Amino acid sequence: GVRNSPTVYNAAIHVAQFWDGREPTVEAQAKGPILNPVEHGMPTAEAVEEVLRAIPEYRPLFEAAFPGQDEPVTFDNVAMAIGAFERKLVTRGKWDRWLAGDGNALNVQEKRGLDAFMDIGCTTCHMGPNLGGSLYQKMGLVEAYPMEDKGRSEITGNETEMYFFKVPALRIVAETGPYMHDGSLETLEEVVRIMAKHQLGKPVTDQQVTDMVAFMNALTGKLPAEYIAEPTLPGM
């Protein structure tokens, strides 16, 4: 597609899914890529069910996960299962230790970066423990940003939401490049300068950029290795 794929890590705690917020939950979002012709390319929900029902090893797994259903191997249940998996993809790291009161969790430079992040106004949109994912904002709020994507207005039909996108959360942002809704920026340094200019209308020094990127790197967290280990798929 024309948009940069957001990470599924921490997605379940966002206000909605996709850049334009067109789906309310990770369960609803899970259906989209499966039927998208440029992603999984399955033609219909029924076609998905036909494929899965043809793999006998899946049936007892679906029966165990969705007990009491006459036919548990359904597209809706596929989405529910994917959503259940994604709801535990919540990373934890030094940022969480800092939020819990550990004043030594962040180093001196990371603390300077957090101070700069707050001082120039980034927390107006990147708020809360997830540092984003909780609201929509116009791209080019202060200074117009060159782009053709109309954002959320393409879903709502509301012209007042022209160029609005869901504010991305910054947890593990250092590991999820390229950046922006169109994947047009390769580095966090570029992102900081662009956002300061177009969203805040404020200049940033090289030192502030370096410190804020150090802070963003501190937002990297981990998941239990066994939870994200490559599974042995039924029928393989």
Q: Which residue has the tokens 């529910």?
A: 80
Task: For 108-149, give the DSSP string.
Answer: HHHHHHHHHHHHTTGGGTS-TTTTSSS-EEETTSSS------
Reduce the secondary structure of 157-199 to three states and give it as a string. Answer: CCHHHCCEEECCCCCCHHHCCCECCCCCECCHHHHHHHHHHHH
Catalytic residues: 39
Q: Are 85 and 228 in contact (CB under 8 A)?
A: no
**Angle at the Cα of 230 from the Cα atoms of 181 and 46, rounded to 5 degrees:** 70
